[in-house]
Copies of this chain bind each other. A is one copy, B any other.
């Protein structure tokens, strides 16, 4: 008797769609192995795979340099003797920070407080109150192993029987939300963003999605807003944010504010305002959970609870305790993010120039790529003021669509596979994020000039008529 078959798994697991790491990513990985095992003789028309499917700026090939002081603190926490063995390798403020963290945490080989190291939660609270002008309570902050972990926790707690619990999620959405909702009693309630208005969030669309649930056994429980957006990079206006809070009030929704890209805005006319600040300014009692993260392989992040009753916060504590504690290095990474070196600190100059360079490069890359894309026949792309992605819309000829259907693929996935096969560039087809009927997009994250030449050739192979 073979007990474990697909049929014996939770049916919702089978339904999870996770395009970011789907068929394309798997094929890209195979190409990467092939290139590695047969250097120079892979038979592939490229010699490097570029993972433009995930925002992964420090990956090989892109090699965005790490921030030195962050790595120095981490190294000193790993191996305390270094301050004696290599006394000149570390600036004074880095040593002082590591000493302070060590004094509080002790060895990073030990489990910490399940909610995260108290000192680091205090640093986060200071960061939030400096950012917003309103106080933050360290006891309402949970460190996590990345924003993903926080979002999963919240969604899984909010899903309650016997009716289905709905969570409103933006389309284009980041697939984490639908994947986490794939439980017998969870239901994603999609609302479309408006491409013609730079991917803005439209209140009437959300309201329509809420009303649509009335004739079904679904209780809308939360509204997820990604600001700045992924993959759109759109940054919300404060006026829109206030309306969103009002709407949560009206319909009794918990507001899940995914703000992981808050520091990634690269257009001078746009700026980020947290939902925490909006809620406080409005003196609103809407329940809000705000997510932030260092979003990388170190895996660190936090969420802050605003207007959440203490007994519910205690339940969260119980649930995170089951997982023991978030990774310590991620917690230390968050600490460096929320209190970077200050003017006057020995590390300040290097930190400043490193972060400025990274931001400038991102802005420049994004701008250059948008310009390239918009020059292409049949391609339009909203210029992204935030986040790290572009999401061009691509017309596909009838011939291309037919060829795709024949191959049993979505047309945009067919296009993306052809791109990967020809150039080694791995993107995410728009069908993984949700898009309007008859439209095709893909998401890419970095400067990939190879896309232009590929598109020309693809258009020749599948001409309009």
Contact = CB atoms under 8 A, between A and B. Distances in A.
A149 B175 CA distance: 20
B161 A252 contact: no
A219 to B, nearest CB: 9
Contact of A110 (B56, B311, B327): B56
A393 interface: no
Contact of A10 (B146, B157, B253, B307): B157
Contacts of A10: 156-161
Interface string A65-102: 01010011011101101100110110000000000000
A2 interface: yes
A282 interface: no
Contacts of A78: 71-72, 74-75, 78, 329
Interface string A9-27: 1110110101011100100
A319 B59 contact: no
Given A175-B322, A328-B298, A113 B315 contact: no
Interface residues of A, number: 101
Contacts of A180: 322
B148 A8 contact: no
A394 interface: no
Given A107-B59, A157-B13, A322-B175, A6 B298 contact: no
B297 A110 contact: yes
Given A8-B158, A297-B110, A326-B299, A13 B319 contact: yes
Contacts of A311: 6
A321 B329 CA distance: 21
A109 B322 contact: no
Contacts of A307: 2, 4
A114 B312 CA distance: 32
Nearest to A86: B86
Interface string A300-329: 000000011101100101110111111111
A315 B13 contact: yes
A63 B107 contact: yes
B72 A79 contact: yes
Interface string A109-151: 1111110001000000000000000000000000001101100
Interface of A: 1-6, 8-11, 13-14, 16, 18, 20-22, 25, 29, 33, 54, 56-60, 63, 66, 68, 71-72, 74-76, 78-79, 81-82, 85-86, 88-89, 106-114, 118, 145-146, 148-149, 152, 156-161, 175-176, 179-180, 184-185, 221, 248-249, 252-254, 285-287, 296-299, 307-309, 311-312, 315, 317-319, 321-330
19 contacts: A2-B307, A3-B221, A3-B253, A4-B312, A6-B309, A9-B315, A13-B315, A16-B318, A16-B322, A56-B111, A58-B107, A59-B107, A81-B89, A85-B88, A110-B296, A111-B296, A161-B184, A180-B322, A297-B328
- For the complex of A and B, the 4 pairs showing the least CB-CB separation, nearest first, are A86-B86, A21-B321, A58-B109, A60-B106
